[in-house]
Structure formats: C-alpha cells, structure tokens
Amino acid sequence: MASGKTESFRERKQRLRQSFIEQFPGRLAGARELLAGLTLGSDQRAELETLHLLFHTIKGSGASFGFDSINASAKAAEQVLREVLDQDARVTERLILDLDQRLRTLEALDLALDAAAGPDPGPSFEIPARQSVDGCTSGRLQRLVYLCDDDSVIAQELSGQLSCFGYQVIPFVTLDALRRAFQSERPSAIIMDVIFPEGQDAGPAVIAELNATIDRPVPCVFISSRNDFSARLQAVQSGGNAYCPKPVNAVEMAEILDQLTNRSPPEPYHILIVDDDPDVAQFFSMVLEEAGMVTRVTNEPERVPDTLDGFDADLVLMDLYMPKCSGPDLARVLRQMPGYLSLPIIYVSSETNAERQFKALEVGADGFLTKPLAPERLIAEVKLRAERMRTLRSLMIRDGLTGLFNHNAILQLLEVTEAACRRTQTSLCMAMIDVDHFKSINDTYGHPVGDQVLMALSRTLRLRLREVDLVGRYGGEEFAIILVGVDAAYAKSIIDELRADFAEVSFFADGFEFHCAFSGGIAAYPQFGTASALVDAADRALYRAKRNGRNRVEIATTMTDVSAKPVPPGGMRNEH
C-alpha cells in the first residue's frame, strides 16, 4: 500500500541512520586524538572547546537517531567539559581520566547491535501531498525554508521529514553557505542550530547579522541540544521566534512553521464605540480605522446589544457619562448577557478622580483611558487589549493537542453556520470521523504515539480541506467537520478521499512501521434541520460505518436510522 514516495522516505531515513553509524568510529577516533593531545596543567580552552563540540554533535545525532546509550555517554562527556570550560579551562588528571572513561564506554558500544535493536528516532510520518488539478501542489504547501545545522545527518533527516509537511527545505551545513543562499533568495523561514564550529552561539549571531541587512526579519526557529535559560535568552535576543530542543519533533516543527509563515494578514480588530457626542465618537472611529481597524459607532447605549449582534467585536470603547444610561450601567447590562461576559470594555472619559474611576471599573470593565487622548495612545491601548482578547479567546476555543476547534467551539460554530445556511438557503454537511482501533495503537505503541497520530490526522484535515471548512476535535479520537455549500454525495467523496490518503500515511515507532485508518459518518442540511439533529445523524452514520467494517464513510439517510446505536439520555455519544 505504501507509495513510491513513502518508500523513498523510509529508505532515506534508513540511509541517514546508516551514515551516522558509519561516521561514528571516525568521530570517536577524532575525540581520542584530541584527548591524547591534551597537556596536564595548562589552559587549553581551544582544544577543550573542539572536544566539547565533538561530544555535543555525537550527543545530538545519537538522540535524533534513537541511540540512547550513545546520547547518554556523549552527554556526560559534554557536561564534564562544559564545567571545566566555565571555570579555568585547565586540564587536570581527573579530567583526562574522566573523558577517557566516557570515550571507552562509547567505543565499547556495539553499534551494529544497537542499530539493529535500537528504536527509531521516535514516531514520524508523512502525509501524501495532494496534487491540484494542474498537477502542482498549492502555494500553501510549498514554502521555502532554510535549515542550517553543522551536523549533516540531522540537517538532512529533518529536511526530509519537513518536506512531508509541504515545506521545501534546503539544508546547509555551514553558516557561509546559508549566508550565500540568503543573499540570492529570501526564505519564508530559517531553522537554525545554535552551536557551530565558529562558536557557542554562532547560529544566533548569524541570524542577527542577516536580519540587520533587511527591513523585515525572516522568521527563525532555533534548534539546539542546549535547553538552558541563557541559550533561550540569546536566541530571543537575536530575533528567534521559537526554540526547539533536540531531538526535534518534526510535527511540532511543522506546526511552528505553519504559524510563522502564515502570510494571510490577520483579521482586523473590530471595535464598537459608544459615545453620546457624535463628533467624539466619529473622531475615535476615524483614528482607529486609519490604523486598520473596523469600527461601529453608536450614540445611544440602548442600541448597543443590536449593534454588537453579528459584529464579532474584539472590544467596546465607551463614554463614562451618558444621559439615561451611564457607562457603568451599560457595562453591567452587557456583563449579564452570556455572549458578552468577557468582552473587553474600556472607558474613555475626562474623569480624573481616581475613586470615581475605580467605582466605574468595579462593575466589570477592563480599563480607563483619560481624555484628552493622543491618537497614537488610543491606537496602542486598543490594539494591545484587542490582541490579548484574541489570544485568550483562541486559548478558550482551541484544543491543546491538535490546535483544532475544541468540542464546545465546533458545536457553537455548527449552530452559527446552520443559522447562516438557513438564511441564505445554502447546503451544509456535517461529518464525524473517528480513528479505527485507536485503543490498540495506544496499547501497542504508547499514548505519545497515539497523540502523534491524532496530530497527524488533524494536520491532514487542516491542510487538505478548504479554508472555509471548519474542523474541530469533538473528543478523544473523534473529529467533526463542517462543510459549507456541498451536498452529502460530494461531502462523502471529499471525506472518502481523505480517508484513503490517511490510510496511506506511514507512521514509525519503536522500529516498526504502521498505518491507521478512520471511519466517517455524514449528515446533510436541510435533510437534518438543526445543529443537534446533524450531529446526532452524523454520529449514527459513523457508528454504521464502524459496524460495517470500519475504514469507510456512510451517509445518514433517515432520522430513524435502523442500524443506529441509541444515544444515551442527556447527551451526544462519544464512544465507538
């Protein structure tokens, strides 16, 4: 069942592992030679730095290729050297004995046996890229990334894995080669090692140097076997957007790259302005719109709930003193409406009395801006709070493992989408999918591998479905998808195609390759006319797919599906 591409990936992976094994004796011989060249009592910082780098590289590659014993011994040697380098870099008898013993342990490791019995670098997988009609993968799947690591094996291994996630990754093993490539073509992102032969923080230094030559810094992810605070601090200070300790998890790296290279501009902030003085309200609106925000203005507090409806506000800017209904009264009214419980409310007023300001805030408002207010300050304050609101909201509605909408969010989105489709007379389908025999994947390979499968499936869904489709993690290993503007037959063909492709995905864990499948159930609107009827029907169709042999997709036919499993009272079923 594996495609040609999958096979070549496996072969490549095997080849890289083999190459590490072949290089290993040479690296140890190099370390032995350096050790023999050390002279007792003298300061030999340069030689010790070289030795440190060598053990560091062995440690990193060892971990990446699943050679735990190599990783552990090299790590111990690296630590011993680090301690000496952090002090006076003097070569003592104890240091030589210590290193000699670590080196002997490494030399004694029976690599061939380790290679045969040792686990793979951990679970990994590849998603077959879908070709568009003209034979090219879409732009979204083809972003250029430079990866710079002086360990060629890690550089190639990680590049290979990331190419499975739709990135065109070019590996470089020297900083100079990266510099040259950067001058001729700017990548969407750079993945950069921290330690190079040029120095302990040569990677961050080069990123700072490259960014100094351009207007907008290129997003950068640092990878390193160092996981201490000072390494992370250095990375941040030289412009790093993310930091991944080695061995690098390709799924997590792909997620980070997705975020960093997302080129669609962020949705502008939506701000509601409430002020009984039309001129003041218009002025605020003008300033904020000039800064790229979308505003709505009302001079009558009683119209606020209607104005908010359908506006998806990020923040309300309101006057403190208004006739009939003051700012605090309006804030209280909004706080009693479930949808606006956490909507940020900021007063703008010339009131400078601290006690009165405090009283106004007590009703659940979030801030106070005092007039006169410079436009720059207004923009900065509003942006800051709206951004924080977005982040908080995203944390509330996203599932932590997969980044998809969580259970409540996808159900709410279904309600909203169903209502919109009712108004516009558009078709809509709800699909429920569930990984087959997922329990046995957990039982066989462990929970973390099960998590990787869920992450892989969620990535497949996100990358392969349209931007307008909504994907959520309904619970456990069950996912919900809302497809707008398609009928049941078309939805089935989409989910079936995903199902067939997902079954082709190769997962690797503990030296084994395995495949997963999922089953799906589809329900269409308006045949099933409410959100809960859609969920119920899709779930029943999913159950039928499971019963009919799994790895298949079924369409819900009638409200009383004869083969349906009864739903427990008071809730939607979430087990198959």
Ligand X SMILES: Nc1nc2c(ncn2[C@@H]2O[C@H](COP(=O)(O)OP(=O)(O)OP(=O)(O)O)[C@@H](O)[C@H]2O)c(=O)[nH]1
For ligand X, the binding residues (CB under 6 A) are 401, 434-440, 442, 447, 450-451, 454, 476-477, 546, 550, 575-576
159 vs 402, beta carbon nearer ligand X: 402
Find the DSSP H helices in 272-372: 278-290, 304-308, 327-335, 354-362
55 vs 508, beta carbon nearer ligand X: 508
248 vs 454, beta carbon nearer ligand X: 454
Q: Which of 162, 122, 128, 125 is nearest to 4 (CA)?
A: 128
Residue with tokens 């605070």: 229
Least separation in angstroms between residue 437's CB and ligand X is 5
Q: What's the chain's Rg over C-alpha atoms?
A: 29
78 vs 477, beta carbon nearer ligand X: 477
What residues have CB less than 8 Å from 477, skipping those under 6 apart? Answer: 434, 435, 438, 450, 454
**Nearest 5°: CA angle at 411, between 441 and 469?**
80
366 vs 510, beta carbon nearer ligand X: 510
* Position with the least CB separation from ligand X: 450
Least separation in angstroms between residue 370's CB and ligand X is 48
Least separation in angstroms between residue 441's CB and ligand X is 8
Least separation in angstroms between residue 518's CB and ligand X is 9
246 vs 576, beta carbon nearer ligand X: 576
Least separation in angstroms between residue 152's CB and ligand X is 34
37 vs 568, beta carbon nearer ligand X: 568
Euclidean distance between CA atoms 498 and 529, whole angstroms: 26
Euclidean distance between CA atoms 449 and 125, whole angstroms: 11
Q: DSSP secondary structure string, 164-193?
A: TTTEEEEEESSHHHHHHHHHH---SEEEEE
Burial of 299 (0-12, 13-18, 19+ CB in 10 A): middle
303 vs 447, beta carbon nearer ligand X: 447
Least separation in angstroms between residue 158's CB and ligand X is 24
210 vs 441, beta carbon nearer ligand X: 441
Terminal-to-terminal C-alpha distance of the chain = 26
515 vs 550, beta carbon nearer ligand X: 550
Euclidean distance between CA atoms 211 and 195, whole angstroms: 19
385 vs 576, beta carbon nearer ligand X: 576
Q: Residue 197 region, left (φ>0) first, then alpha (ψ -120 to 50), else beta?
A: alpha
481 neighbors 431 (Cβ within 8 angstroms): yes
430 neighbors 539 (Cβ within 8 angstroms): no
What residues have CB less than 8 Å from 346, skipping those under 6 apart? Answer: 315, 316, 317, 318, 365, 366, 367, 368, 369, 381, 382, 385
**Mind spelling out the 3-state secondary structure of 26-95?**
HHHHHHHHHHHCCCCCCECHHHHHHHHHHHHHHHHHHHHCCCHHHHHHHHHHHHHHHHHHHCCCECCHHH
Q: For the chain, how are helix, strand and coil distributed in percent, rounded to 5?
A: 50, 15, 30
β pairing state of 506-509 and 124-126? antiparallel
Euclidean distance between CA atoms 537 and 37, whole angstroms: 75
Phi–psi pair at 247, nearest 5 degrees:
-70, 140
Structure tokens given for 157: 């291994």
Least separation in angstroms between residue 489's CB and ligand X is 25
Least separation in angstroms between residue 99's CB and ligand X is 41
Least separation in angstroms between residue 300's CB and ligand X is 49
Least separation in angstroms between residue 544's CB and ligand X is 12
Least separation in angstroms between residue 253's CB and ligand X is 20
